[in-house]
């Protein structure tokens, strides 16, 4: 996907904007996205709700797998939560392409906290569609 198309994808991504995510790296097959954990992202145990950890990983995955003019979406994903985080911490998701063949791709995302500790490991499976790019 071209730089302009990636920017369009992000400009139209209301969830990413609402969650305050920042793009640190935007390259074909590789993306890094960060997000500060807010109070409204924590659960009843005062730790980061797993859905928000998944969201930052999923956003980095989406950016990494949309690497050409084709629209690529998630075919599935799994996550392992390894360390709890709390309000104020910064999560960073580093997504990297492992393989891409035909319409299918496999991407690994490591989510770390601001100290570099691994918070979660995410594996995403992508599917390239015939959908036209977003105008």
Q: What are the sequence ranges of the domains in the chain? A: 3-128
Q: Is the pLDDT of residue 47 over 80?
A: yes
Q: Encoding tokens for residue 1?
A: 């996907």
Q: List the Cα angle 50/73/84 in 5-degree steps.
A: 15
CATH for 3-128 (3.10.129.10, 3.40.50.300, 3.30.590.10, 3.40.80.10): 3.10.129.10
Residue 11's pLDDT band, with cuts at 50, 70 and 90, is confident
Instruction: Give 56-95 pLDDT, tens digit per residue.
Output: 999 999 999 988 878 899 999 999 999 999 999 999 999 9
**φ, ψ for residue 54 (rounded to 5)?**
-60, -40
Mean pLDDT over 112-133 rounds to 94
Whether the full predicted model's pTM is greater than 0.85, yes or no, is yes
Task: For residue 95, give the nearest of 115, 114, 79, 117 by alpha carbon.
Answer: 79
- pLDDT reported for residue 69: 79
Q: Is the pLDDT of residue 6 over 80?
A: no
**φ, ψ for residue 31 (rounded to 5)?**
-150, 150
- pLDDT reported for residue 2: 53
């Amino acid at each position: 996907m071209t730089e302009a198309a990636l920017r369009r994808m992000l400009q139209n991504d209301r969830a990413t904007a609402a969650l305050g995510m920042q793009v640190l790296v935007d390259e074909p097959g590789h993306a890094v996205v960060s997000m500060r954990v807010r109070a409204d992202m924590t659960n009843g145990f005062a730790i980061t709700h797993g859905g928000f950890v998944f969201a930052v990983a999923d956003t980095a995955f989406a950016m990494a797998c949309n690497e050409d003019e084709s629209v690529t979406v998630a075919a599935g994903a799994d996550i392992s939560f390894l360390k709890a985080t709390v309000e104020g911490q910064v999560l960073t998701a580093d997504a990297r392409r492992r393989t891409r063949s035909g319409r299918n791709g496999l991407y690994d995302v490591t989510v770390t906290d601001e100290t570099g500790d691994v918070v979660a490991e995410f594996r995403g499976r992508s599917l390239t569609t015939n959908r036209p790019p977003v105008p």
